[in-house]
Amino acid sequence: MDFTFLISATDELRDPILFELNVDTVTAIGLNLFNVAVLALILAFVLYKPIRKGLQKRTDRIQGELAHAAKEVADATELKYTYEQKLQEIDREREEILSEARKTAADAGRRIIADAKKEAESVRERAAASVEAEWERAQNDMRTAIIDVSAVMAEKFVSLAINKETHDNLFKETVSDLEDMTWRG
């Protein structure tokens, strides 16, 4: 009898094994591990240095950019500080200029008021002098008018009441009184 048939029939009846640890499997696993190790070593020797160089270049570039950015921030901070100082000095100068302008304006105002007071006093004095001159002129005009009226009245009265000799005496007396008045007045 043939037993091979029985073994193969019994093999078919058994449950299939998913992972069978036999010599072929162990050998395949060992070879695969060896291949992975060799490939890792080859990749390490071939690619490690260029990748390491690339990463170092990138790190150096990033460090350079960070240093440049820090320098730019420091420069910007210094520039900001400088501008703030300039703005403070400009504000101080503006305040000084405004203060000087206020003083100048106040001085100018006082000068204008003093000049106006002087001018008003001058106008008042001229007006007073003008009024005084006008008063004197009016008094003189009044005297002249009174004298003229008196002379006319006296002439009429004298022509009616006195003779030639009395007339001449009165005339001389009046002229003498007028001369005394002119010299006194």
pLDDT of residue 10: 52
pLDDT of residue 91: 93
Q: How many angstroms separate the CA atoms of 123 and 93, rounded?
A: 44
pLDDT of residue 160: 67
> Is 65 contained in some domain?
yes
Q: How many angstroms separate the CA atoms of 47 and 112, rounded?
A: 94
- Please answer whether residues 170 and 158 qualify as being in contact, where contact means their C-beta atoms are separated by less than 8 angstroms: yes
Q: Based on the structure, what is the number of domains in the chain?
A: 1
* pTM of the complete model beyond 0.85: no
Determine the structural domain holding residue 33 and report its residue range.
20-177
Residue-wise pLDDT for 114-159, tens only, equals 999 999 999 999 888 889 888 888 888 888 877 877 777 777 775 6
Which band of pLDDT confidence, cut at 50, 70 and 90, is reported for residue 99? very high
> Is 136 contained in some domain?
yes
pLDDT of residue 185: 47
3-state secondary structure of 110: helix
Q: How many angstroms separate the CA atoms of 144 and 149, rounded?
A: 8
> Is 170 contained in some domain?
yes
